[in-house]
Amino acid sequence: MTAEPEVPGAPAHAAAPEPDGVTDGLMDKVVNLCKRRGFIFQSAEIYGGFRSTYDYGPLGVNMLRNVKNAWWRSMVQLRDDVVGIDAAILSPSSVWEASGHLRNFTDPLVECRQCHSRWRADKLTGPCPNCGSTDFTEARPFNLMFKTHAGPIEDEGAIAYLRPETAQGMFVNFANVLQTTRKRPPFGIAQIGKSFRNEITPQNFVFRTREFEQMEMEYFVPPDEGQKWHEYWINERYRWYLELGMPPDKMRLRPHGADELSHYSSATSDLEYLFPWGWDELEGIANRTDYDLRRHAEASGAHLDYFDPTTGERYYPHVIEPAGGVTRTMMAFLLAAYDEDEVGGEARTVLHLHHRLAPYQVAVLPLSKKEQLETMAREVLHQLQPHFMCDYDVTQSIGRRYRRHDEIGTPWCVTVDFDSLDDRAVTIRERDTTAQVRVPVDVLVAELRSRAGED
Ligand code: ATP
């Protein structure tokens, strides 16, 4: 598995960060760690691998869930103005005809006349990344949607599409949600789920893949409040990344120029991360205006406007959309967390992941495999499991086990030793400082919950 499954030398959008020992080769180090420790595997690897498609292993699936849970918590659970849905991935042509995706959801495709490799013209910096030629065909629009047939007859009427964004699920259910929840603008509908784009040049590990997960929220507001809420959501979303430990100097906001706006957008700002190849998009926050609701109302005949009982007015709400990628965000958090330092003169690799994102929050480590110790360690494990995602690890020396958990970002190791059998206390070892404190088993859950800021 390499960092660049299809594209040798990804075109940089901006100067890549200066190598400093840790960032030097960072991408390869993180990609290797992901495979070695079970975060991310090449899909269908035993058959030679299915290009730019990935499977998430035992650690990766925990972390993906944590990214999604952190988003859902902030966007739905802690708010009274946002509700969730989970819409179908497979959808009929009518949805994509009305949304404009059939016509407009394209990237400019060029072919190198020398080596016949195909590229996305707007991401090329000059010569062909494959052979160095500058002789390309004229760019032509290439539609990114995956087309299939629903049912046993493969005729025109059976054409269906895998959704290229989750957003349309929120628009086509707008009236359903309005009626069933009695929400009124400003309010939002959030969704997390898989989307599919037949990307011309998937690249940079899980940064750009053909199958990926998105977390999107459509926030419906009175038409004259669009700009205000656009600014509000840019700030909210920026804060979310910082609260989860993204270094501020690795993040920036970049408003789109008029020439790069999507067909539905009046204004978009990207939250960007300084990836090893330069600044690139983590999340786009768009003002989609009333484009989608109007188009679906016209095409379907449904009433997708809002009647405001207080003013007696009918209007199509404008929509602010923060749209992020789960897989891309997970990768950025991994890159940001990766570090190499020394503990007691010994080199270690450590992921400084926020405890909400780490695959395991706690590792329970009996000092040895002695039955008495294991019995107590399992008791401790069972006490912790309802509150934290835990690992239980008995193999190899305790130092080795600490290193292993540093490398996968486990914030707390709990060690059960022979004294524990007498004093009913255990040692909590903290990942970042390696500091150790002795804590009675009775207060262990409370102590760790308080460290996690849970109470
Ligand atoms: P790009 O310009 O990089 O192709 P986009 O601007 O088309 O991306 P959006 O349509 O705004 O992307 O999608 C919202 C988010 O979904 C992106 O910010 C990204 O995090 C995620 N995303 C989009 N396409 C992909 C992909 N092919 N692989 C992984 N994540 C993706």
In this structure, is residue 348 part of a structural domain? Answer: no
Report pLDDT for 404: 97
Nearest to 441 by CA among 450, 452, 428, 430: 428
- Ligand 1, atom 19: closest residue by C-alpha: 325
Ligand 1: does its nearest atom lie under 6 Å from the Cβ of 199?
yes
Identify the burial level of 65 via C-beta atoms within 10 angstroms of its C-beta, where 0-12 means exposed, 13-18 middle and 19 or more buried: middle
Same domain, 367 and 329: no
Q: Is 373 helix (H, G, I), strand (E, B) or coil?
A: helix
Tell which atom from ligand 1 comes closest to the C-alpha of 202: 27
Please report the atom of ligand 1 found closest to the CA of residue 214.
16
Helix (H) or strand (E) holding 149: strand 146-149
What are the pLDDT digits (tens) for 40-64?
Answer: 999 999 999 998 899 999 999 999 9
CA-280 nearest atom, ligand 1: 3
Query: What is the number of H-type helices and E-type strands within the chain?
Result: 13, 24
Distance, CA 325 to ligand 1 centroid (Å)? 7
Give the Cα separation of 37 and 30 in Å (integer): 10
4 compared with 318, residue with greater pLDDT: 318
438 in the same domain as 321: no
State if residue 322 touches ligand 1 by the CB under 6 angstroms criterion.
no
Q: Please, are residues 337 and 247 in contact by the beta-carbon 8 Å criterion?
A: no
Q: Are residues 261 and 300 in the same domain?
A: yes
Q: Whose CA is nearest to atom 20 of ligand 1?
A: 325
Say yes or no to pLDDT of 320 above 60.
Answer: yes
Whether residue 17 is predicted with pLDDT greater than 80 in this model: the reply is no
- Best of 214, 275, 277, 287 for a ligand 1 pocket test (most atoms within 8 Å of beta carbon): 214
**308 and 422, same domain (yes or no):** no
pLDDT in tens, 242-277: 999 999 999 999 999 888 877 777 889 999 999 999
- Residue 344 is predicted with a pLDDT of 86
* 323 CA from centroid of ligand 1 (Å): 8
Does the C-beta of 280 come closer than 6 Å to ligand 1? no
Q: Quote the number of domains for the chain.
A: 2
Answer yes or no: is 377 within a domain. Answer: yes
Q: How far is residue 133's CA from residue 114's CA, in Å, rounded to a whole number?
A: 7
Taking the C-alpha atoms of residue 128 and residue 136, their distance in angstroms, rounded to an integer, is 8
Please indicate, yes or no, whether residues 243 and 323 belong to a single structural domain of this protein.
yes
Residues 209 and 269 in one domain: yes
Residue nearest to atom 26 of ligand 1 (CA): 208
Alpha carbons 353 and 358: distance in angstroms, whole number: 6
Average pLDDT of 95-113? 94
For residue 113, being part of any structural domain is answered with no
pLDDT bin (cut points 50, 70, 90) of residue 7 is very low
The continuous run of DSSP H or E covering 234 comes out as helix 226-243
Instruction: Give the pLDDT band (50/70/90) at residue 157.
Output: confident
**Same domain assignment for residues 267 and 402:** no
State if residue 359 touches ligand 1 by the CB under 6 angstroms criterion. Answer: no
Atom 1, ligand 1: which residue's CA is nearest? 281
Single residue among 268, 301, 335 that ends a domain in this structure: 335
User: According to the model, what pLDDT value does residue 4 have?
Assistant: 28
Q: Give the separation between CA 172 and CA 323, rounded to whole angstroms.
A: 17
Q: Is the pLDDT of residue 287 over 50?
A: yes
Ligand 1 and 281: CB distance under 6 A:
yes
CATH number at residue 436: 3.40.50.800
Q: Has residue 366 been placed in a domain?
A: yes
- Atom 24 of ligand 1, residue of closest alpha carbon: 208
* Boundary (domain end) residue, out of 298, 318, 335: 335
- Whether the pLDDT of residue 15 is over 60: the answer is no
For residue 24, pLDDT over 80 is answered with: no
pLDDT tens digits along 401-414 = 999 999 999 999 99
Of 156 and 356, more confident: 356
Q: Residue range 264-291: average pLDDT?
A: 94
Residue 455 has a pLDDT of: 62
Choose among 210, 185, 140: nearest CA to 305: 185
Q: Which helix (H) or strand (E) holds 415?
A: strand 412-416
Is the CB of 323 within 6 Å of ligand 1? yes
- Residue predicted with more confidence, 407 or 453: 407
- The answer to whether the CB of 203 falls within 8 A of the CB of 52 is yes
User: What is the residue range of 175's domain?
Assistant: 10-95+162-335
Confirm whether 188 is domain-assigned. Answer: yes
Query: In this model, does residue 16 exceed pLDDT 80?
Result: no
Q: What is the pLDDT of residues 191-223, one digit of tens each?
A: 999 999 999 989 899 999 999 999 999 999 999
Are residue 279 and residue 313 in the same domain, yes or no?
A: yes
Residue 260 pLDDT: 82
* Residue 364 DSSP code: E
pTM value surpassing 0.85: yes
Q: Is residue 342 part of a domain?
A: no
pLDDT digits (tens, 9 = 90+) for 108-155: 999 999 999 999 998 888 899 999 999 999 999 999 999 999 998 888
In a domain, 280, yes or no: yes
CATH of the domain at 90: 3.30.930.10
Q: Which residues contact 68 (CB under 8 A, 6 or more apart)?
A: 192, 213, 215, 326
322 & 376 share domain: no
* Ligand 1: centre distance to CA 192 (Å): 14
Confidence of residue 6 (pLDDT cuts 50, 70, 90): very low
Residue 141 covered by a domain:
no
Pairwise CA distance, residues 182 & 340, whole Å: 52
Q: How far apart are CA 194 and CA 196, in angstroms?
A: 7
Task: Tell me: do 181 and 279 sit in the same domain.
Answer: yes
* Atom 6 (ligand 1) nearest CA: 284
**Is the pLDDT reported for residue 3 higher than 90?**
no
Q: Average per-residue pLDDT in the chain? A: 93
363-384 pLDDT, tens digit per residue, is 999 999 999 999 999 999 999 9
Residues 301 and 225 in one domain: yes
Confidence of residue 13 (pLDDT cuts 50, 70, 90): very low
Ligand 1 pocket check: which of 328, 329, 331 to mutate, most ligand atoms within 8 Å of Cβ?
A: 328
Quick one: which of 262, 258, 260 has its CA closest to 291? 262
Domain-ending residue, one of 301, 335, 369? 335
> Does the beta carbon of 193 lie inside 6 Å of ligand 1?
no
The proportion of the chain whose per-residue pLDDT surpasses 90, expressed as a percent, equals 87
* Tokens of residue 403, six digits: 């290193």
327 and 366, same domain (yes or no): no
Our answer on whether the CB atom of 327 is closer than 6 Å to any ligand 1 atom is yes
